[in-house]
Structure 1
C-alpha cells in the first residue's frame, strides 16, 4: 500500500505530496491541470523507463519518493523508495537508503501497483495476460497444475535435446571413431584412479629425497644428543643455574625457561629419531611412482589441464565408440525416454486444461455479473480455450486462453481487443479487478479516467463498484465524475496556476472546499443549486461526513 508520495519538479509540478487513503482516493481537477504528471511519478516508482523531458522547466532534476507498507511485512517504518532523474537523463534509484537498480524497483514495489489507464498498454488487451488473470482467480489448483506442467515441459525439452545430441553423435561417430578409439586406448592404458594424482604429488617429493631427509633427521638428532651435543651443554648450564638459584630467587624464572628448553630438545630429539626410522627408502617403489607420475602427466598434457578433464574426455570418446558400434540402441533408448517425457507432459497438459476449463465459465460469469452492475446491459465476457499444436506449447500452457466480448445477447463473441471500445475495456478491466479481489497480488490500483464516456446511472454504478473494490485494494482514481468523487475517503484537488511557467499544485480538500469541487464537477459552477446538490451527494455517500 502506498502510504505517501512526494513529487518534485515533475512536468508542471514543483512540489506536491499525496497521502492516499488505504481505501478509495480520488483526484479531480480541470482538464490539463497536471494530473498526468502525478501518474508519471507513480510510473517511475513502478520501475518504468525514465524520460528526461519530464523534468520541470528550469530544474536540474526531478525526484519522486514513496513510502510503502507492503503486504506480508511488519516493518513499522515501511519501505521507502526514491527515483531521481537529471535533466541530462541520468537516473538514480534507492530503496530504504541503499542504491538499487530500476529492475529491482520494478520487481519489488512495482509489482504491488497496477496502473490501469485508458491510454496505457493495458494487460487486458494482451492475450498472453488473459491466462494469468484466470489462473490468479482459480488459485491453488491452477498454480499446482501449472507447476507440474512446467516441470514436465522442462523434462520433455531436456529429453528432446538429448535425442538430438545422440543423433548428432551417431551421425558423426563413424568419422570420429578412429580418433575416439585411440583416446580411449591411451587413457585406459594408464587407467588413472580417482585421487591418484594428488596422492602421488604428495608422496613423490618425500620418496625422491628420502636419503636427504633421513640424513638431516639423524644429523640433527646426533647434534642434540651426542657427546658434547646441545643437550649436554644445556644440562651443564642448567646445573650451574640451579646451584646459583639458591642465592638469588630472581634466577628462578630463567631456570624454569632453561628446564623447559631442555625438555623440548629431548622431545624434538625423540621425534627426529622416530621420523628417521619411519622414512622408507625403496628404490623400486620410487621408480614405479616416478613412472606413474610421468604417465599421468602425459595424460594431462594431452587431455588436461585437470584430471577431471581427462576422465571427461575418455567418457565422451567412449560414447563415440559406443555410438559407432551400438548407435541404434542409444537412439532407441533416447527415443523411448522422449516418448515417456512427452506422455507425462500430455498428461499434465490435460490436467492444466481441465482445471482452467472448469474455472473459466465461473470466472467469466463473475466478471459478467460485475459488468451488469456497471450498466453494460447484456454484454458478456466469455473465455475461449484452444489447444495449440505441440510445437507451440509454452510456459503458460498447452492452450491459448483469450477473453472474448459479446456486446449483446444476439451478437457474436469476438476477441476483446478487437471489438470493445476504450470505455468498455476500462469497465471490463474494473470488473475483472473486483472479481480478482486479493487474488491478483496487487495492493494498489491506479485508475486513469476509467470513467471516460460514462454518465448518468452508469456513473453511479461505476462509483459503487470502485467503492467495493476499495474494500480489498487501495484504489486511486483520476476522475471527472462527481458520482465517483463523492465516494472517496480522501479527495485531492489538482489545480494549475498561470504565469510564464505554470505550476501544478495538489491539495487535500474537505468540508466546504470539497462541496465546491463536487459542485463544479456537476455543473461547471458553484451556484447555490449546484452546491446544494453536491452537499446532498456527499451526505448520501458518507452519512454527513465530507
Structure 2
C-alpha cells in the first residue's frame, strides 16, 4: 500500500508531504483547485510519460517520491528481489523531471529505466480515470477487463507468445516452400562457383607470398650478376675486402707489440674481418639459392593469374577468394537437403500451431468460466445505481480458424439489457452517456475487488451521477476500502461523506504566484467541506445538519 508521497515543484504544487492512510481516502476541493494533481504526480512516480510542463514555473526540476509498504504484496517483493532492489518490505519510487523535459527514475535509490517503474507500478497501484467509460466502447478493453478479473493475464500473454511463435514458424515454412525453385537455381550456381574455386584451392595470405617470389624470380639473372660482383669484391676477388682487411689486421698486431694503445683499434678491425667473412658466406648461400627453373616460374605465374581471374569474375579482391570460397560452401550447405529441411520446417510449424491451440483452448475455458461470474457481479453492482432492470453479460463468440489471433480463439464483448424484455445489445447500442458512466463504475468496482493490487485510485469516476445513486457509489467505494487502500477524487458530497479520511485541496493565488495545498480535515472541517459541496458559498445550519447526517449515515 501507498504510505507516503512527497511532491516538490510539480505543476502548481511547490511542496507537499503527505502520509496516506489505509481504507478509503477522499480528495475534494473547488473546481480548478487541482484535485487530480496528486494523482497525476503519483502516475509519474509509476512511470507515466513526463514533459517540461510538469515542472512548476521558475523551478529547474520537479521531484516526486512515493513510498510503499510491500509486506503483503508478494508479486512486488519477488520483482524487487529478482533485481536486487528489495529493502526490508519498503519500496521507494522517485521520479525527477528537469525543466527541459528529461527525467530520471529511481527504485529504492537505484537509477532505473522508466519501463521498470511501469512494470513495478502495475503491481502497486491501479488507477481508474474519469474517461475510462469511453474505453468501454472498444472490444479490446472488454477482453482485457475479463482477463484481469479472471486472473488470466499470464495465460493471455502465453497465448500471445505462442501465436507469434506459430506465425514465425509458419512463415519460415511457407517462405522455404514458395522459394524452393529459386533456392535450387541458387544451389546450382553455388556448385559451379565452388567447383571453380576448388580447382584453385585459395589459401588466405598465399597470393602475397606468390607475388613476392614471382618478383624475385623475374629478376634472377640480374640478381645473380650483381650478386656475383658483390661476392667477388667481398671475399672471392684478388685481392678481396676480406684479404685486405686481413693484411691490415696483421700490420696492426705487429704494431701492438710496440704500442699497447692500439689494442682497441686492433679489436675493431678484427671484428670487421669476422663480419666481412660472415657476409661473404651469407651472400654465397643466397646466390646458390637462386633458381633459374623456368617451369617453377611458369607455375607461379599461372597461379597468380588464376587468382586475379577469379577475383575479377566474382568481383572481389583476389586476396579475399579464400574467404569467399568458405562463404559459398556455407551457403550451399544451408540450402542442400532442401526436402529434408522443408519437412522439418513443416513439422516445426505444426508443432507451434498445436502448442498455440492448447494454450488458447485453456484460456478460452478460463474465460468462459469467469465470464458468467463477471456478468453476474457487474449486474449486482449496476442495478443499485439507478438501473434496477439492467442485466449485464460477457458475450464470447468463437472465431473461425482464419481469424485466430494473439488474443485467442474468441471475441469478448460486454452486452447489456437495460430494461426487462429487451434483447441484450452492445454498450454503444443501448447505453446513454449517464448509463455508460454508471456501468463503467460498476465494472471498475467489480474488477477492483478481484485485483491483487493493494492500492486503488479512482479519479472522478462518479461524473454524471448524483442523488441516491451517488450515495450508493460512495457506499461501494467505502466497502472496497475495507479490503484495499482506496483513494477517490470526487466532487460529490454523498461520496465524500463515506471517506474514512478526507483530504482537502486548496488553491491560493498571490500577486505573482499560485500555490496548491492539500490538508487532512478534522471531523468539524469535514462537515464544513461537505456542507460547502452541498450548498455552495452560503452555508446554513440546515446545510451543516445535512452534511452531518450524510456522515452519520456512512458510519452506520
TM-score by length of 2: 0.67
1:537 lines up with 2:550 in the alignment: yes
Whole-angstrom CA distance in 1 between matches of 2:488 and 2:377: 23
SS of match in other structure, 1:81: strand
Whole-angstrom CA distance in 2 between matches of 1:157 and 1:537: 59
Decide which of 540, 543, 552 is 1:527's aligned counterpart.
540
Decide which of 89, 105, 110 is 1:93's aligned counterpart.
105
| Residues 1:474 and 1:122: Cα distance change in structure 2 (over 3 Å) | farther
1:134 lines up with 2:146 in the alignment: yes
Matches within 5 A, 1:147-162: 149-150=159-160, 152-162=162-172
1:407 lines up with 2:405 in the alignment: no
The Cα of 1:331 is off from its aligned counterpart by 4.6
| Other-structure match for 1:41 | 41
The Cα of 1:314 is off from its aligned counterpart by 4.6
Matches within 5 A, 1:39-438: 39-70=39-70, 71-72=73-74, 73=77, 75-76=87-88, 78-119=90-131, 124-139=136-151, 142=152, 146=156, 149-150=159-160, 152-181=162-191, 314=329, 316-318=331-333, 320-323=335-338, 327=339, 331=342, 334-335=345-346, 338-339=349-350, 341-342=352-353, 345-346=356-357, 348-416=359-427, 420-437=431-448
Runs of 5+ unmatched residues, structure 2: 78-85, 201-318
Q: How many aligned positions are there? A: 427
Of 438-447 and 27-36, the range deviating more from structure 2? 438-447
Whole-angstrom CA distance in 2 between matches of 1:132 and 1:384: 14
| Residues 1:138 and 1:104: Cα distance change in structure 2 (over 3 Å) | closer
Tell me, yes or no, if the aligned pair for 1:447 and 1:478 is still in contact at 8 Å.
yes
| Other-structure match for 1:27 | 27
| Other-structure match for 1:215 | none
SS of match in other structure, 1:476: strand
Of 458-467 and 334-343, the range deviating more from structure 2? 334-343
Runs of 5+ unmatched residues, structure 1: 191-299
| Residues 1:510 and 1:176: Cα distance change in structure 2 (over 3 Å) | same
CA deviation map 1:141-189 (0-9, x unaligned): x568646645653453243133124225512133223334357879999
| Other-structure match for 2:213 | none
Whole-angstrom CA distance in 2 between matches of 1:122 and 1:111: 24
Of 389-398 and 458-467, the range deviating more from structure 2? 389-398
Of 110-119 and 181-190, the range deviating more from structure 2? 181-190
| Other-structure match for 1:456 | 467
Whole-angstrom CA distance in 2 between matches of 1:47 and 1:187: 59
Pair member with larger Rg: 2
1:490 lines up with 2:501 in the alignment: yes
Whole-angstrom CA distance in 1 between matches of 2:437 and 2:6: 28
Tell me, yes or no, if the aligned pair for 1:2 and 1:67 is still in contact at 8 Å.
yes
Whole-angstrom CA distance in 2 between matches of 1:394 and 1:31: 45
Tell me, yes or no, if the aligned pair for 1:385 and 1:399 is still in contact at 8 Å.
yes
Whole-angstrom CA distance in 2 between matches of 1:15 and 1:384: 49
Whole-angstrom CA distance in 2 between matches of 1:376 and 1:438: 21
| Residues 1:341 and 1:508: Cα distance change in structure 2 (over 3 Å) | closer
The Cα of 1:348 is off from its aligned counterpart by 4.6
| Residues 1:427 and 1:183: Cα distance change in structure 2 (over 3 Å) | farther
Tell me, yes or no, if the aligned pair for 2:130 and 2:462 is still in contact at 8 Å.
no
| Other-structure match for 1:515 | 527
Whole-angstrom CA distance in 1 between matches of 2:103 and 2:155: 41
The Cα of 1:466 is off from its aligned counterpart by 0.6
Tell me, yes or no, if the aligned pair for 1:187 and 1:314 is still in contact at 8 Å.
no
| Other-structure match for 2:517 | 505
The Cα of 1:10 is off from its aligned counterpart by 2.4
Tell me, yes or no, if the aligned pair for 1:35 and 1:494 is still in contact at 8 Å.
yes
1:476 lines up with 2:491 in the alignment: no
| Residues 1:476 and 1:502: Cα distance change in structure 2 (over 3 Å) | same
| Residues 1:460 and 1:363: Cα distance change in structure 2 (over 3 Å) | same
The Cα of 1:492 is off from its aligned counterpart by 0.5
Tell me, yes or no, if the aligned pair for 1:303 and 1:313 is still in contact at 8 Å.
no
SS of match in other structure, 2:36: helix
Whole-angstrom CA distance in 2 between matches of 1:11 and 1:422: 31
TM-score by length of 1: 0.68
Whole-angstrom CA distance in 2 between matches of 1:353 and 1:407: 27
CA deviation map 1:477-524 (0-9, x unaligned): 111222211221111111122333332211101121111112222223
